[in-house]
Amino acid sequence: MSAQPELVSVTVDGREIQVPKGTGMIETAAAAGVEIPVFCYEPRLGPPIGACRMCLCEVEGMPKLQAACTLTAQEGMALKTAQTSPKAAEGQHAMLEFILLNHPLDCPDCDKGGECPLQDLTFRFGPGNTRMQFPKRTFDKPVPISPLIALDRERCILCYRCTRFSENVSEDGQLVAVNRGAQSLIATFEDEPYRAHFSGNVLELCPVGALTSTTYRFRARPWEIQNVPTVCGLCPVGCNVWATTREGRVARVLSRNHPEVHEGWLCDKGRFAHDHLAAPDRIRAPLLRVRRRGFEEVSPERALDEAARGLREADGPVVVAFSGAETVEQADALARIAVAGAGGWSALLPDDWDPSLEAFRAPLSDIRDADVCLVLGDHPVEERAPIVDLWLRAARRGGAEVITVGPSGSVRAAPGSAAPTCAALRAGKGLPRELRETSRALRQAKRIALVWSEDDPTGGGHVGALADELRGRAKADVAVYALPRTPNGRGVAAAWHAGGGVVAGELPEEIGALVVAGDEAAHDPRVLELAGRARFVLAFAMFQSEVTSWSHVVLPATSYLEREGTFVNLEGRHQRLRRAVVPAGPDELELLAGLGERLGVQLDPWAAPSAEGQARLAPPHEFAWSRPDPQPPTARSAAPGLELVRYRPLFSGAAVERVPQLQFQRPAPEIELAHEDAVTRGIANEETVVVTSNGTSKELRARISRRLRAGVVRVAEEHARGLEDHVQVTK
């Protein structure tokens, strides 16, 4: 990007305006205060296609009307829109008439009614006069193209926004236009469901009521709703959203474009998982374990007294198991409560953070502008921080070299290679052949983006060290994006350390009390094991789990849509959660304050973190632990059989499990198998195979991949339970 863009002056409907040369004409006109109607134009979908022709304008010196969306500002250009040019107005009427030739006039019972660009334009720029006493195109309507999305082809105006999203943004290549000319229509392959991480975005892209949400259809009318600006709390990206609420319930989630974070895209988890708030099995009142008779609902006061007593009397250390979904304020409060308790304390943190990474902090949008992106780790980026995958694709489309080092990467590395690869690239010499190209690319790059998608105890120390090296040697500007496992894992870690908490290196044998903070922790097998060892267990949870059944006191927890507070996303960006709806049970924050009070800790978890609180969070130096020197871990044990890689699917967890329409997005019981390994075993794609590792054996469907490294198999966590690191696969 050039430093100072040259300014040119353009006149739009007689108004002169100065804009940078090459600015799109739609934006230029807008800057001049003139709105040009568009349907197909949407800059986030790539170059303009000039298909709908709604933006026809007159340009001085050009005989024909021009599609304004395809023009860019040039010095002296004079544009006349429908507002001042009769010719342009006639052109616009013509386009509206053509569109309405086949568009049903069913606005009253259309979900888009009231927020439909076509409806607005027909009112404002019509008359799309009615000279068409002809049969309109007819289709079955609406047809579900997935459990989440319904398509009404009669309403489709073929602006190709949805298909361009599928082809050029998410690159899932599943939603396409088939046939030609007047026969063209939007479809999926053989009517299979549109199953992709980002499918829901087409709902917001569709300018008419052709694509509507099955979870929102007919739920509310635009004038009955309220939109609350907040942040998605389901992954470490932290997309900005509007929570549309109606009668105290979240009816839908729409995106609120933050150009540096997510460019307005949302994944389907963030968009559709909100229905779990209203799940019937949600814990609404405090529960107290009573001898033999299991649990009984008690008043908050009673529950808090019991909880406080349990913590006070716990002889032995207090351990807090975090979910990484707590706000910074919650984590801070829990830290202080733990510290106040007797007998030492420690925590189980889902994520940790190496302060050295702070030096390589950059907005996610910088990935798009990098010329080399290096992705390291065994965990698929799109499963852990989906939006990051979109930025990487944007970078590739922009000509960047995107190198992925992993079991199915462009460099097909063995599992666990991320750290050794960093070390090797730092050393620079004695590189294995497959890394030489990578090393060369990194040395020549001017702008480098490093993405770390690995669980490691050093909190990204390895990639931090590589970044140091590259910046020092190659004089490149380097950005590092280490992907935490959990939405606010980074903020929680910071708060805990700031609060003076220590991290459990070795967890104590004897545990006085265990505090389970939220459902993620409650579903973690390690926590279950701790619960078995703790004398007293206090759990905050939205839903029942094995861990809650082990607890002595269970306090109802809240979701990110029900809280005020601060999240720190993977960039280190502090974002504010706003309460969209009030929680079903007693307020979690009040409960925390009450607990603190009983333990003599002054807490105000509602307050936005005070200046000094923020400072304590501000890395790096206040961090309470030292940067570990990244030693490449010793490679995994070489045992016979295929090496199993587990991954945590995006569509998993307590929230997803409670939204019926999202079930189809969860990974099928499949095992991803390298083509070579399938051939040697005579296994065909989609064939059922038996997977065994000493003792346990299960049946899974084979998914054969030509990208996966030979000798490696990949299975989603939830289908890999009981399997060890090496497995046998047979027909």
Partner 1 sequence: MALRELLLEHADARDLTRLSEYEAVGGYASLRKAVGMERQAVLDELLAANVRGRGGAGFPMGRKASFLPQPGDTPNPIYLVANADESEPGTFKDREIMLRIPHMFVEGVVIAGYTIGASYAFIYLRGEYLTEFEVLTAALEEARKARLVGKDVLGSGWGLTVVVHRGAGAYICGEETALLDSLEGRRGQPRTKPPFPAISGLYASPTLINNVETLATVPKILELGGARYAQLGVENSAGTRVFSLSGNVVRGGNYELEMGTTLRELVHDIGGGIPDGRELKAIIPGGSSVPVLSADEVDTPLDFDAMAEAGTMLGSGGVIVIDDRCCMVQLGLRVAQFYMHESCGKCTPCREGTRWMVQLLRRIEDGEASQGELDVLLNACDRILGNCLCPLGDAAAMPVASYVAKFREEYQRHIDEGGCPFGGESSLDRVLAPVDQHHGRVRGEIEVPTHA
Partner 2 sequence: MAELYDEIQAVAAQYPSRRSAVMPALRLAQERHGGWLPAEAFREVAEALELTPAYCQAVASFYDMYHLEPVGRHMVEICTNVSCALVGAQQVLEAFERELEVSAGETTADGEVTLRTVECAGGCGWGTVVAVDHRYREPVRPEDVPGIVKELRGA
Residue 54 binds partner 1 (CB under 8 A): yes
List the one residue out of 534, 692, 513 whose CA is nearest residue 599. Answer: 513
Q: Which does 252 bind (CB under 5 to 8 A by kind): partner 1, partner 2, ligand SF4, none?
A: none
Among 10, 19, 25, 48, interactor with partner 1 by CB under 8 A: 48
- Minimal distance, residue 97 CB to ligand SF4, in Å: 17
Cβ at position 651, least distance to partner 2 in Å: 20
Tokens representing residue 127 in the block: 């008359």
Compare residues 271 and 412 and give the one whose CB is closer to ligand SF4. 271
- Among candidates 624, 494, 503, which has minimal Cα distance to 566? 494
Between vectors from CA 123 to CA 120 and to CA 129, what angle results, nearest 5°? 130
Among 417, 292, 318, 364, smallest CA distance to 571 is for 364
Residue of 30, 31, 49, 474 that binds partner 1 (CB under 8 A): 49
Q: Applying CB under 8 A, does 50 fall inside the site for partner 1?
A: yes
d(CA 542, CA 283) in angstroms, rounded, equals 5
Q: Does 137 bind partner 1 (CB under 8 A)?
A: yes
Buried b (16+ CB within 10 A) or exposed e, 690-716: ebebeeeebebebbbbeebbeebbbbb
Q: Quick one: CA dihedral 527, 532, 533, 535, positive or negative?
A: positive
Is residue 620 reached through a cis peptide bond, with omega within 30 degrees of 0 on the bond before it? yes
Minimum distance from CB of 52 to ligand SF4 (Å)? 9
Using CB under 8 A as the binding rule, whether residue 314 contacts partner 1 is answered as no
Number of residues in contact with partner 1, rule: CB under 8 A? 45
Q: Rounded to a whole number, what is the distance in angstroms from the first to the last CA of the chain?
A: 55
Structure tokens at 186: 């939007």
Per DSSP, helices labelled H in 599-682 are 611-617, 654-657, 675-681
* Closest residue by Cα to residue 451 from 351, 373, 395, 353: 373
Judged by beta carbon distances under 5 to 8 A according to partner kind, the member of partner 2, ligand SF4, partner 1, none in contact with residue 477 is: none
DSSP result, 248-298: TEEEEEEE---TTTTTT---HHHHHGGGGGG-TTB--S-EEEETTTEEEE-
99 binds partner 1 (CB under 8 A): yes
**Binds partner 1 by CB under 8 A, chosen from 191, 506, 612, 629:** 191
| Part in contact with partner 1 (CB under 8 A); list of ranges 59-67, 110-118, 341-349, 597-605 | 59-67
Q: How far is 585 from 114, CA to CA, in rounded Å?
A: 35
Beta carbon of residue 239, minimum distance to ligand SF4 (angstroms, whole number): 21
HSE-CB of 96 using CA atoms within 13 angstroms: 23
Between CA 26 and CA 37 the distance in angstroms is 9
Tell me the per-residue interface mask from 564 to 593 with partner 1, x by CB under 8 A, - otherwise: ------------------------------
Quick one: 211 or 581, whose CB is closer to ligand SF4?
211
Closer to ligand SF4 by Cβ: residue 160 or 623: 160
Tell which residue, 588, 64, 49, has the closest CA to residue 300. Answer: 588
* Separation of alpha carbons 377 and 392, rounded Å: 15
Q: How far is CA 652 from the centre of its chain?
A: 13
Candidate list 167, 352, 383, 524; residue touching partner 2; CB under 8 A: 167
Q: Which does 95 bind (CB under 5 to 8 A by kind): partner 1, partner 2, ligand SF4, none?
A: partner 1
Examine residue 144 and say whether the peptide bond preceding it is cis (omega within 30 degrees of 0): no
535-548 burial, b if ≥16 CB within 10 A, otherwise e? ebbbbbbbbbbebb
Among partner 2, partner 1, ligand SF4, none, partner that 101 touches (CB below 5 to 8 angstroms by kind): partner 1
Q: Which does 138 bind (CB under 5 to 8 A by kind): ligand SF4, partner 1, partner 2, none?
A: partner 1
Q: Which is nearer to ligand SF4, 43 or 248 (CB)?
A: 43
* Interface residue with partner 2, options 52, 65, 68, 175 (CB under 8 A): 175
Query: Judged by CB under 6 A, how many residues of this single chain contact ligand SF4?
Result: 13
Q: Number of C-alpha atoms within 13 angstroms, CB side, residue 655? A: 24
Binding mask 165-194 for ligand SF4 (x = CB under 6 A): ---------------------x--------
In contact, 21 and 6? CB cutoff 8 Å: yes
Q: By CB under 6 A, tell whether 210 contacts ligand SF4.
A: yes
- Part of the chain binding partner 2 (CB under 8 A), chosen from 176-184, 270-278, 380-388, 629-637: 176-184
**Is there binding between residue 57 and partner 2 (CB under 8 A)?**
no
Residue with smaller CB distance to partner 1, 55 or 716 = 55
Cα–Cα distance, 231 to 578 (Å, whole number): 7
Among 127, 173, 229, 525, binds partner 2 (CB under 8 A): 173
**Residue located via tokens 């970044």:** 467
Among partner 2, partner 1, ligand SF4, none, residue 131 binds (CB under 5-8 Å by kind) = partner 1
Stretch that binds partner 2, among 12-20, 152-160, 180-188, 377-385 (CB under 8 A): 180-188
Closer CB to ligand SF4, 156 or 362, in the complex:
156
Instruction: Give the one residue of 176, 431, 504, 618 binding partner 2; rule: CB under 8 A.
Output: 176
Give the nearer residue to partner 2 in terms of CB position, either 369 or 670. 670
Q: Please report the sign of the dihedral spanned by the C-alpha atoms of residue 414, residue 419, residue 423, residue 426.
A: positive
By the rule CB under 6 A, 334 interacts with ligand SF4: no
Q: Among residue numbers 188 through 207, which ones bind partner 2 (CB under 8 A)?
A: 188-190
Per the document, the length of the chain is: 731
Per CB under 6 A, the list member of 205, 334, 372, 591 interacting with ligand SF4 is 205
Q: What is the Cα–Cα distance from 110 to 120, expressed in whole angstroms? A: 14
CB of 110 to ligand SF4, least distance (A): 13
Q: Which of 82, 100, 150, 162 is close enough to bind ligand SF4 by CB under 6 A? A: 162
Q: 713 near 730, Cβ under 8 Å?
A: no
- Separation between Cα atoms, residue 104 and residue 107, nearest integer Å: 8
The least distance separating ligand SF4 from the CB of residue 185, rounded to whole angstroms, comes to 9
| Chain residues that interact with ligand SF4, rule: CB under 6 A | 156-162, 186, 205-206, 208, 210-211
| Chain residues that interact with partner 1, rule: CB under 8 A | 48-54, 56, 63-65, 67, 70, 90-91, 94-95, 97-99, 101-102, 131-132, 134-135, 137-140, 143, 153, 157-158, 160, 177, 179-185, 187, 191
| Chain residues that interact with partner 2, rule: CB under 8 A | 167, 172-180, 187-190, 706
